[in-house]
Amino acid sequence: MKPGFISRLEARVAATGSLLCVGLDPRVTSPLRARQHCLEVIEATRRHAVAFKPNTAFFEELGPSGMEVLAEVVAAIPEEIPVLLDAKRGDISTTAAAYATAVFDRIGAGAVTVSPYLGRDSIEPFLEHEGRAVFVLCRTSNPGGSDFQERRLAPGGTTLYEEVARTSIRWAGPDRLGLVVGATMPEAVARVRAVAPDHWILAPGVGPQGGSLQETLAAGLRPDGMGVLLPVSRAIAGAPDRAAAAAEFCAAVTGVRGTAGAAPAAPSDTLAVDLFDAGCVRFGDFELKSGRRSPIYLDLRNLAGHPDLMRRIARRYLPLLGRAVPLSDSAPSSTSQHDAGDAFARLAGVPLAGLPIATAVSLESGIPMVYPRSGVKTHGTRAAIEGPFRRGERVVVIDDVATSGISVLDAVERLRGAGLDVGVAVVLIDRGGRAAEALADEGVELRAVTGLGDIVESLCTGGRITDTEADRVREFLRA
């Protein structure tokens, strides 16, 4: 099977060191001239482009012949360079399915920009095409984007564009879905990166629109130096020497990328430092519950005193949850109804330390939460599980740390005893014990935002702890 769009994109980035997505916007008056223009741009920039982005509007305005030229141009793009069609499609049902067929099967693109305004069912027809990807409009680069996208959902709450990102990444993983965030607003790029640490960001606006290359990459690059796709159209197509313009842009990206990849904005490094500064990760000599001595101690209960950090951590859980499936009040609740996979209906917090985190994840995502009591109430409702639910619903268990897996397994037993289905547990930190194996034996997959070893390495690299302290923890973990 042919590799998917994102796999091909990342292979191209690795091969070229570039992040340049060349726009194909033929601002001409005839189909023949449009074809010639695009082929010339492709030939001049093919060495430096990691993707080409034709804009359908400039082909559509030329009439039926213009659409034929679009298909010819896409077919002329070298096989190893993926094609992202800038079409901003947004509709539902058979109309969306027809758009998807046109984009992928008739025009031959590997990905397409889409509008999420109509919700998940406007995106799913595109995702049904194996190996193809969508880039969801999130915070667009135009000034008028603030009319709606910057509006806050509640006083002091998150913006609409952040909610778009948070919801969209539950529809598909980073191998199928990206987000469009304008380079003209690096703060928005940083906020979306915090919500979606692994997904690609298409960042239009570098160049004539005023977006800063350095600020965009610093805000959006993943720790692996990938994750930001930079579309450039007029600055290259209108240059006297297009090949030189593309080479110059790529050289600038390489220079910035070399420093931005190690910037403090990298999600994993920031997380470790933030936890350390909040007193959630401590180094010294501690006695654990088991009686063993440990050179490191995790106290995530301290997160209760750091609401901003709690919010950022909650966002890090979101890509690991799976696909939230809203259920109507009258619909029967069973995972078979959803052909489950990663589908789930509710979150389930593990008492005690997992409850504040689960609550924060619920507030950030809008997904309802339940939690098992440590003991069945002997008064009132005598409930073993707090919060509304229906038998057969699938829940994702949320906890803070996994070591042996005992606390999660206890919660799983109580949830299953109440008729709920559990297949996934997500924790902030995997200490590297046998939790994953113990949970797998009970049919539960453990997913972790980060590992204890990764935190130690980040803190050592960032100068928060000494090499001696790091070596003590490494030795402890090996033992």
Residues labelled as active-site residues: 88
Strands (E), 42-116: 51-54, 84-89, 111-114
Q: How far is CA 422 from the centre of its chain?
A: 23
Measure Cα distances from 79 to 8, 50, 52, 84 in Å: 10, 11, 11, 13
Other CB atoms within a 10 A radius of the CB of residue 306 amount to: 17
Give the closest residue to 349 by CA, choosing from 327, 324, 381, 374: 374
Q: End-to-end alpha-carbon separation of the chain, Å?
A: 43
Q: What are 32-37's contacts with CB under 8 Å, separation 24+? A: 34/58, 34/59, 34/62, 34/66, 34/69, 35/69, 35/72, 35/73, 37/237
Give the closest residue to 419 by CA, choosing from 401, 394, 437, 396: 394
List, as one string, the DSSP characters of 13-33: HHHH---EEEEE----SSHHH
Which of helix, strand or coil describes residue 55? Answer: strand
List, as one string, the DSSP characters of 257-276: HHHHTTSTT-HHHHHHHHHH
Which of helix, strand or coil describes residue 235? Answer: helix
Q: How far apart are CA 319 and CA 412, in angstroms?
A: 21
Q: Are 236 and 45 in contact (CB under 8 A)?
A: yes
Tokens of 104: 């992928």
Q: Are 296 and 473 in contact (CB under 8 A)?
A: yes
